[in-house]
A and B are shown apart, each in its own frame.
Chain A
C-alpha cells in the first residue's frame, strides 16, 4: 500500500471520528429535551469521563489499573470538603479535587510502573485498598456517612447551579473539553509513542524513548482526568462517599471500558451509558446487579473482546471496504 493511500485512509478515519464527536456532543446537548432525565445524564457523563480517562491508560498505554477508584474518590472528597467546609466556589472546588488526584496519581504512578502487566494491576488495587482504609478512618470524610449536602454554589459567581439544567450543561462542557483533550492527546506524537510502547516496549526503548517517563505521564494524565470526573460528580450529586473509593468502583470502570471497547475513542462513553443505565433500571434488584455485572465481564472476555464500538467499527471497515 502506498503511503498516500495510508494517509488517505487515516484522514478518512479521523474525519469519521470528528464527525462522530460533533454528533455525540450535539445529541448530548439536546438529550434533556427528548425525555432523558438530566440527573441520569449527568451521572452517565461523569462516569463516561471517568471511563475515558481510564481508557487512556488501558487502551492506549496498555496498563490495566485496578485501583482507579482512588482518584475518583480522592478528588470527590477533596472537592466536597473544599466546597462545604472551605466554602470555595464551584470552579475552585473542582480544581482543587482534580489537583489532589493529580498529586496522588504522580505518587502512585511512580510506584506502580516499576512492575508490569498483572503485577501493575495488583499493585494499583492494593494501593487503592490502602486509600480506602485511609478514608474510612480519617475524620474529614465522615466515615460511612460521607460528606453530605455539599453546596453546588455558583459558577464564576454568576450561574446558579442549583438549577438542574444549568448544572447539566456545565457538566456537559466539562465532559466535552476533557473528551477533546483526550482525543488530542491520543493523536499527538505523545499518544503515538505511548501506543508504540504498548505494542513493543523493548523496541520503543531501543529507539530512544524513555518508556517509563511516557507511562508515568500517561498515568498522571489519566489520574487527573479521573479526578476531574470525581470532583464534578461529588459536587453535582452533593455527596462524596466511600462507594467511590471502593474496589468495586475500580472494577466498574474496567467493565465500562471493556464493554464499550478499549482502545476506541467512543467505547468508554457507550460502556458508561449502558452500565449506568442498567444500574439505575435494576436498582431494586439489589445484588443481582453484581451478578449481571459479573456476567457481562465474562461474556465480554470470552466472546466480545473488542467491545461494542470495537466490534461495530470492525464490521464497518469490513463492509465499507
Chain B
C-alpha cells in the first residue's frame, strides 16, 4: 500500500511537470502555430538558472521561481524576434526544425560545460521534511510542487479563458489579421505569448531542480513524452492540456507499481490507442 501511494505521488509530480510543459506548448502553438522543440532545453535552462542563482549569487529558491522564468522567457523572446519571426509565412515544419536545431545547440553547450552528470539542488529549508499522513509519508516539497503547479495551470487557464487579455489572445488565434485591424499589436502579443510559454517551461525547471537534480539532458527525453501528452490531449483546449498532463502522470505512476517494465512506454501506448479511436486527441478538434 505504501508503495502504491508512493508511486501515485511520483506520478502526480511527473504529471505536474507534463501539465506545465504541455500547457506552455499549447499556448505557443495556439498563437504561433509552432511546436517549440526547445521547450525541453528551456525547462533545463530554468533549472540551471536556479542552480546558478543559488551557487554563484546566493539567491535562494523563492527568488529563483521569479527570476529564472523571466530570464529564460526573455531569452525565448529574443529567439522569437530574431529567428522565428522570419518563418511565420513558411510551412510550420520549418519552425519545428529551427527549434530542434536550437535545442541541440543549447544542450550541446551545457553538456560541454557541465558534463552529463546531475548536480544536486537543495530543497529550500521551509519545505524540508515531510508529513506523516498515517498511510504514507508525504515530503513537504512534493506537496508544494503539486499545489503550486495546479495553481499556475489554473491561473493560466483563467487568464486565457476568462479575461479581456485572454479574449484578445483567443481572437488572435482565430484571425490575427482582423485583430490587428482593431488596433491590437499582434506581433508584440505573439512575442509576449512565446515568452510566457517559455517562462512556464523555466518555472517547471526550477520546481523540478530539487527533485530530479540539475542535468543538461533533463529536458531532452522529457520533451518527447510531453509531445505524446500533447498528441493525446489534442491542442484544442488549455484545460485539456492540464487534465491530460496530470492524468497521464498518474497513469504512469500506477504502471510503475503494477508493471514496472512498461512504465517507460505506457504513455506512448496510450497515444497509439487514442490515435486509433480519436485521431484529433481527447480534447482536440480537427483543424
Which residues of A does B touch, CB under 8 Å? 64, 66, 111, 114-115, 117-119, 121-123, 125-127, 129-130, 133-134, 136-137, 247, 251, 254, 258, 286-291, 293-298, 300-302, 305
Q: Are A126 and B102 in contact (CB under 8 A)?
A: no
Which one of B124-132, B170-178, B195-203, B265-273 is at the interface?
B265-273
* Distance, CA A137 to CA B29, complexed state (A): 34
> Taking each of A114, A119, A291, A293, which has the highest tally of chain B beta carbons within 10 Å of its own beta carbon?
A119
* Distance, CA A290 to CA B41, complexed state (A): 14
Cβ proximity bits B31-47 to A, threshold 8 Å, 1 near / 0 not: 00001000000000000
* Distance, CA A133 to CA B221, complexed state (A): 11
Q: Are A133 and B279 in contact (CB under 8 A)?
A: no
Q: Which residue of chain A lies nearest to B269 when distances are taken between CB atoms in the complex?
A: A130
Which residues on the B side are within 8 Å of A129 (C-beta)?
A: 221, 224-225, 228, 268
- Nearest chain B CB to A104 CB, angstrom units: 13
* Distance, CA A296 to CA B90, complexed state (A): 19
Q: Are B268 and A130 in contact (CB under 8 A)?
A: yes
Which residues on the B side are within 8 Å of A121 (C-beta)?
A: 35, 93, 96
Q: Which residue of chain B lies nearest to A291 when distances are taken between CB atoms in the complex?
A: B108
Query: Nearest 7 pairs between A and B by C-beta?
Result: A297-B101, A294-B104, A290-B108, A294-B105, A130-B268, A291-B108, A126-B228
Q: With an 8 A cutoff between CB atoms, is B86 at the interface?
A: yes
- Nearest chain A CB to B222 CB, angstrom units: 11
Cβ proximity bits B98-109 to A, threshold 8 Å, 1 near / 0 not: 101111111111
* Distance, CA A127 to CA B275, complexed state (A): 12
* Distance, CA A127 to CA B102, complexed state (A): 23
* Distance, CA A268 to CA B254, complexed state (A): 44
Q: Are B279 and A115 in contact (CB under 8 A)?
A: yes
Q: Are A111 and B275 in contact (CB under 8 A)?
A: yes
* Distance, CA A170 to CA B206, complexed state (A): 53
Which residues on the B side are within 8 Å of A127 (C-beta)?
A: 268, 271-272
Q: With an 8 A cutoff between CB atoms, is B276 at the interface?
A: yes
Which residues on the B side are within 8 Å of A294 (C-beta)?
A: 101-106, 108
- Nearest chain A CB to B238 CB, angstrom units: 18
Number of interface residues of B (CB under 8 A): 41
Which residues of B does A touch, CB under 8 Å? 29, 35, 83, 86-87, 90, 92-94, 96-98, 100-109, 111-112, 221, 224-225, 227-228, 230-231, 261, 264-265, 268-269, 271-272, 275-276, 279
Q: Are A298 and B94 in contact (CB under 8 A)?
A: no
Which residues on the B side are within 8 Å of A300 (C-beta)?
A: 97, 101
- Given the known A-B contacts A117-B92, A122-B35, are A302 and B98 also in contact in the complex, defined by CB atoms under 8 Å? yes
- Nearest chain B CB to A274 CB, angstrom units: 16
* Distance, CA A161 to CA B83, complexed state (A): 49
Which residues on the A side are within 8 Å of B97 (C-beta)?
A: 254, 258, 297, 300-301
Q: Are B96 and A64 in contact (CB under 8 A)?
A: yes
Q: Are A137 and B109 in contact (CB under 8 A)?
A: no
* Distance, CA A294 to CA B110, complexed state (A): 13
- Given the known A-B contacts A118-B93, A291-B105, are A298 and B224 also in contact in the complex, defined by CB atoms under 8 Å? no
- Given the known A-B contacts A121-B93, A127-B272, are A296 and B112 also in contact in the complex, defined by CB atoms under 8 Å? no
Contact of A125 among B107, B109, B227 (CB under 8 A): B227
- Given the known A-B contacts A121-B96, A258-B97, A294-B102, are A126 and B109 also in contact in the complex, defined by CB atoms under 8 Å? no
